[in-house]
Amino acid sequence: MTDPSTSGQPTGAGTVVVALDGPAGSGKSSVSKQVARRLGYGYLDTGAAYRALAWHALERGIDTSDAASVLDVSGDFDYAISLDPDSYWVRVGGVDVTDAIREPRVSDAVSGVARVPAVRQSVNALFRALVAHSGRPGVVVEGRDITTVVAPDAPVRILLTAAPEVRAARRSAELTTQDAAAVAAALHRRDASDSSVVDFLTAAPGVEVVDSTDLDFDQTVDAVLGVIRSALSASDPLQTGAPDGR
């Protein structure tokens, strides 16, 4: 799936990494994109890789609950993703799957893919390589275990969260074709399944929490930008180029 020689390399020499974790419906994707735009950074949606691999497996008739089969099909997983927040796309083998990986069948299958340790190790190496070769001053990397596994040494580490009922309402508003109760139930199942693999509901030491329960979108973006400015200033008090996000 990726060159194993990239595993263990620094996340990106000279590239500022903003690591942002959070549960489904917390707003991490939309907030991360806007933060990246405001800072002139790249944006990396790590969850898209697992969704794309789930799509790839389903297209080949693979049972994603079978770890051995998932690992086998990952061997010919040709994956590409844009880091441009204004031109976002995901491709598998030249096929644009940007919309397809958001289908309910893929959402239902992605946890089975993400729980395979060897897959996670390979995908994490891919994420680090994407950041290292981004050619951008910084990259906002969002997902489930970015602050603890993918980029534990990032100068900015944030957990974006919100109350479960607020997250369910937000996700329901995004998925207008699905019943609100069904969306809430699916979100709960996804959180429960994914939390057995990685703890994305509790901030690790040194990770700043942004709770968006009572914040609107713009307020949440401003709150995240505030954490970034403070963290970068603290890591280098003499720097004059800390992003202002304006």
Prediction pTM value: 0.83
| Cα–Cα distance measured from residue 9 to residue 28, given in angstroms and rounded to the nearest whole number | 26
* Selection from 81, 111, 106 nearest residue 95 by Cα: 81
Paired sense of beta strands 79-81 and 90-92, if any: antiparallel
Among candidate residues 3, 2, 106, the one with its CA nearest the CA of residue 48: 106
Q: How many residues does the chain have?
A: 246
Residue 29 counted as an annotated binding residue = yes
Mean pLDDT of the chain: 85
61-105 pLDDT tens trace = 999 999 999 999 999 999 999 999 999 999 999 999 999 999 989
Q: Mind listing the domains of the chain with CATH numbers?
A: 16-234 (3.40.50.300)
Residue 181 annotated as part of some ligand binding site: no
Range scoring the smallest mean pLDDT among 42-46, 153-157, 158-162, 203-207: 203-207
Query: Is 163 within any annotated ligand binding site?
Result: no
Backbone angles phi, psi at 99, to 5 degrees: -85, -35
Determine the pLDDT at residue 240. Answer: 40
| Cross-strand bridge partners of residue 92 | 79, 95
Pair type for strands 208-211 and 16-21: unpaired
Distance of CA 225 to the CA centre of its chain: 17
User: What gap in Å lies between CA 210 and CA 187, rounded to an integer?
Assistant: 20
CB contact burial 78-114 (16+ within 10 A = b; e otherwise): ebebbbebeeeebebeeeebeebbeeeebbbbbbbbb
Provide the 10 A C-beta neighbour count for residue 41. 25
| 3-state secondary structure at position 17 | strand
Q: Is 33 annotated as a binding residue?
A: no
- Cα Rg for the chain, rounded, in angstroms? 17
The 10s digit of each residue's pLDDT in 170-219 is 776 766 556 666 666 666 666 665 555 556 667 788 999 999 999 999 99
25 a known binding residue? yes
Distance CA 44, CA 42 (A): 7
C-beta of residue 83 within 8 angstroms of C-beta of residue 43: yes
Better-predicted residue by pLDDT, 198 or 144 = 144
The answer to the question of whether 28 is labelled as a binding residue is yes
Q: Is 93 assigned to a binding site?
A: no
